[in-house]
Amino acid sequence: MDLNTHTLKELSILIGGPVFQFLAYFILLKILPEKEQLIKFYHYGILFFNLLPIYPLDGGKIIRLFLELFIPYKSSYQLIMKSSYIMVIIIGIVGKNIQINGIVMIIFLLILITKEKHKIEYIYNKFLLERYIRKYYFLKSKIIFNENNFYKNKKHILKINENYILEKDYLKRKYQINYKKH
């Protein structure tokens, strides 16, 4: 999926996971009514875990989408990474009596968050490159003062010193490759 996919479309895809899980939950209850408690236990456990505000879980992705409405794309990504670390640490502190599988899950989440954090520059460059290569039509415009302040669902005008540069012209300069014949 494009990083510049409209927020509502991306949100509908993210919500599809929990919706499917509820559907599977009700189907399993019909098929195995005698296992209702076990099914309910696993259903709510998986649902709660997946909706934690930790990136790259669905809950973290939903929070990131919400942040993108108010702050630049790169900043929203950086903020969700920091808050994901904090959330995992809080879970570790609150869950003093966590068993080995909980400890493994915490370590696994910390590894995933760290890998994502190290990819922020790559992902942001991909985000900008998509905007250069593909034609996106955004209804709202925003004046920004540097490359790190691009928003997801807006077109931009960059103000550099006293000059105004359209987004497409700025990205063309950034990504255009000049070949010289020798």
Torsion of CA 103, 109, 113, 115, to 10 degrees: 90
**What confidence tens digit (pLDDT) does each residue in 156-175 have?**
999 999 999 999 999 999 98
CA–CA separation, 42 and 25 (whole Å): 9
CA–CA separation, 102 and 110 (whole Å): 12
Residue 178 has pLDDT above 70, yes or no: no
Taking Cα atoms as reference points, which of 162, 173, 165, 64 lies closest to residue 120? Answer: 64
Domain spans of the chain?
7-137, 138-182
* pLDDT, the chain, mean: 92
CA–CA separation, 139 and 155 (whole Å): 8
Q: What is the pTM of this model?
A: 0.85
CA distances from 165 to 127, 135, 144 (A): 19, 18, 10
Buried-state track 22-31, b at ≥16 Cβ within 10 A, e below 16 = eeebeebeee
Taking Cα atoms as reference points, which of 147, 98, 99 lies closest to residue 121? Answer: 147
